Amino acid sequence: MQQTLMAHQPLHKAGTRSGAAVGIQAKQTPWEIEANLRAMIDAIPVPLVMSNGRGNTLHLNRAFMESTGYTLDDMPAMADWLSRVCPDPHDRQRVVQSWHDNLEKARLTGGAIAPMELDVKCRDGSVRTFMCCTAALEKSFAGICLTLLHDITSNKVAVDEFENLAFYDPLTYLPNRRFLLDRLHQALALSIRTGWHGALLLVDLDNFKGINDALGHSVGDLMLVETANRLQNCVQRGATIARLGADEFVVMIENLDEGEHVAAAHAEALGGKIHAALNLPYLFNGYEHFCTASIGVTLFHSSAKTLEETLKRADVALFQAKKAGRNMLRFFDPVIQAAIAARVALEADLRRAVSDQGQFLLYYQAQVDSSGHMIGAESLVRWLHPLRGMVSPAEFIPLAEESGLILPLGHWVLATACQQLADWAKRPATAHLTLAVNVSAKQFHLPTFVEEVLTLVDYFKINPAKLKLEITESMLLEHVDDIIAKMTELKIRGITFSMDDFGTGYSSLQYLKRLPLDQIKIDQSFVRDILVDDSGRAIVRTIIAMAQGMNLNVIAEGVETKAQRQFLLDKGCAYYQGFLFGRPMPVEQFEQLLILKNTICLEEAGEAIAKSAG
Ligand code: C2E
Ligand code: MG
Ligand code: MG
């Protein structure tokens, strides 16, 4: 074919550029040129695409058809070939765009243009990658361009495999040490910028060598793969799990918390989850096998020095965990380790106390009105630890929340409070008292919460209007609609609601407006600031004005001095709670205080009213 063409006089004097000039006889029509080129490129055993100056495809050669499996019948309209081989419209758009740009450049310069990679979907569904090199023929060839497609699929596969080998463990497909170091480098940099702590948990299977020796390496391999899967199920997206060596894995988590101890608690909780997952039996060849793991933990944060040092710290912690016996977790920092150990012990005690319950007491703190009359109380739980004595709720309530123990504990508090209300209802001196009960977010989110409250109200036959549930702003971070629905259901039955610690959390006025609240409780930190500075006073004034504007009554907590109460009274806050009126105390003492207060309160109230009038 080429011979036939070459037998004629060339169209132009000399082939200027290799591949860009073809010897074709002069005086041929554009149609003849195209037909001749078509025949010629069909004979070339390399995939080729012929297009015109506008980028429209004129011909695909036989080698192209052979390597992609298509036939001419598959491409009735040549212009459509790209939509067949490149079905994703975004990909196609990208290809077409760069092809057009390149063709334009080639047309102007008359030269070859930059190669471009193209993923081609073959007729059998497989994808092959071609490197496309386009050359524009000289102007006299009617702007025709030829694109040569060089199949680089096998090179790409080799490169991918090489990359996989370089960064991934071939047994578990987890990232390897090199990948981890790269990630850790980025994580340390981020932690320096944000000041948030991350953690590195070094997990080492206990006695893996024994398993390998006893059961053979193939079972050992299966165990490693299963361990990798279980670790992956323990973490959320964004964590990095790597296999460092034989039976040594690393779990890296970032952005745990700003505070070291909170971050440590999160890392410890994850360690517990990992222990639980790895302690489950491994089933191989119909037999159950057991394996434990030791975990060394180090936190990394802005003060972390280097990658090597961070890894070394995790290694030291792992050594401590191994030394302490199998299936253990240890932190690098002894101070954190001690804090975590104390916390773990306290949680175990709390668990026992919740099932025993004899250790919990409900205390009552008076709530008074502007004339000094006791209108009710807030119930506050106390834990009388057999060895440690009275443990503060500030210490054990967060622990109960995290461990889920708040659910049985919260139920006990609610039931005890309802029982107390039933008891007060029987006596004229106490029948008027309301009782506030703190409810945690976890309790409120229980699907059975409304039923739980209503069952207790019915069981103890109490007046629901005397029961006041205290919720906090932090509760509104999630599932607000669910909270509003539950509050509304309870409110219809007469139960009232107070927003505790108001002003300390996330307060969207939008949400506040939608909540069926009765009361806002000014947080004690603002009450404390009343006598400290102008801004403290301004905040309290604003909260009171806002509550009044929303038709909510307002109570101030943490009132310790007469001056604080006077300021609050002057600004229109009519209810108070704080040491000035009584500390939280057992019910017997509370009832004595009630009798005492009701005899002296008129005198105190007289003083207050006189001052506010003046
Ligand atoms: P809270 O609900 O805001 O309770 C008020 C806290 O302020 C109580 O601390 C109370 O003793 C203290 N307090 C009251 N008046 C004053 C005062 O004049 N000055 C000062 N400095 N403090 C005052 P407590 O009893 O240690 O309780 C701490 C927190 O523990 C409570 O804060 C509440 O969030 C939680 N809590 C207590 N009991 C329960 C409960 O039964 N369930 C739940 N979910 N949380 C509870
Ligand atoms: Mg409260
Ligand atoms: Mg409070």
pLDDT at 412: 96
308: amino acid identity, one letter: E
Q: Please report whether residue 567 resides in a domain.
A: yes
pLDDT at 355: 86
Degrees, nearest 5: CA angle 203-208-214: 165
Please give the DSSP secondary-structure letter assigned to residue 281.
P
Same domain, 323 and 372: no
Quote the ligand 3 centre to 91 CA distance (angstroms): 58
pLDDT at 341: 81
Distances (CA, A) of 296 to 148, 382, 521, 535: 57, 35, 44, 47
CATH of the domain at 593: 3.20.20.450
User: Domain end: 278, 306, 332, which one?
Assistant: 332
Residue numbers of the chain with a pLDDT score lower than 70: 1-27, 53-55, 75-80, 99, 102-114, 138-143, 302-305, 357, 506-508, 598-614
In this structure, are residues 321 and 299 in contact, taking their beta carbons and an 8 Å threshold?
Answer: no
Quote the ligand 2 centre to 551 CA distance (angstroms): 21
Burial of 157-195, coded b for 16+ CB within 10 Å and e otherwise, reads eeeeeeeeeeebbeebebbbbebbeebbeebbeebeeee
Question: Which residue in this structure is represented by tokens 């940099």?
Answer: 189
Q: Please report whether residue 524 resides in a domain.
A: yes
Total tally of structural domains belonging to the chain: 3
Atom 41 of ligand 1, nearest CA residue = 381
pLDDT at 17: 34
**pTM for the full model?**
0.61
pLDDT at 129: 87
548: amino acid identity, one letter: Q
pLDDT at 108: 66
Nearest to 108 by CA among 134, 132, 136: 136
Nearest to 120 by CA among 144, 158, 76, 152: 152
Cα 539 from chain centre: 33
- Work out which ligand 1 atom sits closest to the CA atom of 380: 38
Atom 8 of ligand 1, nearest CA residue = 380
Q: Which residues form the domain of 45?
A: 2-157
pLDDT in tens, 2-49: 322 222 223 333 333 333 334 445 567 777 777 888 888 888 888 988
Quote the ligand 3 centre to 89 CA distance (angstroms): 58
- Beta carbon of 11 within 6 Å of any ligand 1 atom: no
Atom 11 of ligand 1, nearest CA residue = 584
Best mutation site among 350, 362, 397 for ligand 1 pocket (most ligand atoms within 8 Å of CB): 397
Same domain, 141 and 183: no
Same domain, 108 and 218: no
- Beta carbon of 582 within 6 Å of any ligand 1 atom: no
Same domain, 127 and 177: no
Burial of 407-419, coded b for 16+ CB within 10 Å and e otherwise, reads bebbbebbbbbbe
- Work out which ligand 1 atom sits closest to the CA atom of 580: 18
pLDDT in tens, 249-292: 999 999 999 888 889 999 999 999 999 999 999 988 788 888 99
Q: Compute the mean pLDDT over every residue in the chain, rounded to the nearest whole number.
A: 84
The bound ligand whose nearest atom lies closest to the alpha carbon of 394 is 1
- Beta carbon of 86 within 6 Å of any ligand 1 atom: no
Same domain, 487 and 363: yes
Q: Please report whether residue 84 resides in a domain.
A: yes
Report d(CA 312, CA 41) in Å as an integer: 63
- Beta carbon of 524 within 6 Å of any ligand 1 atom: yes
Same domain, 113 and 58: yes
Residues lining ion ligand 3 (Cβ < 5 A) are: 500-501, 557
Tokens of 269: 């909780």
- Beta carbon of 560 within 6 Å of any ligand 1 atom: yes
Q: Cβ contacts of residue 512 below 8 Å, gap of 6+?
A: 499, 550
- Beta carbon of 584 within 6 Å of any ligand 1 atom: yes
Report d(CA 39, CA 31) in Å as an integer: 12
Same domain, 241 and 361: no
Ranges of H-type helices in 292-405: 307-323, 334-356, 393-403
Report d(CA 611, CA 614) in Å as an integer: 5
Same domain, 273 and 320: yes
Sort residue 428 into left (φ over 0), alpha (ψ -120 to 50) or beta: alpha
pLDDT at 427: 94
- Work out which ligand 1 atom sits closest to the CA atom of 410: 42
| Bridge partner residues of 127 (DSSP) | 121
- Beta carbon of 390 within 6 Å of any ligand 1 atom: no
Report d(CA 330, CA 574) in Å as an integer: 52
> Dihedral of CA 165/169/173/178: which sign?
negative
Tokens of 410: 């919260």
The H-or-E segment that residue 379 falls in is strand 374-385
- Beta carbon of 475 within 6 Å of any ligand 1 atom: no
CATH of the domain at 12: 3.30.450.20
Distances (CA, A) of 567 to 531, 561, 577, 603, 604: 9, 10, 14, 18, 15
Quote the ligand 2 centre to 523 CA distance (angstroms): 9
Atom 20 of ligand 1, nearest CA residue = 558
- Beta carbon of 591 within 6 Å of any ligand 1 atom: no
pLDDT at 7: 27
Q: Cβ contacts of residue 551 below 8 Å, gap of 6+?
A: none
User: Domain end: 157, 179, 202, which one?
Assistant: 157
Tally helices (H) and strands (E) across the chain.
22, 21
CATH of the domain at 294: 3.30.70.270
User: Domain end: 157, 183, 198, which one?
Assistant: 157
- Beta carbon of 381 within 6 Å of any ligand 1 atom: yes
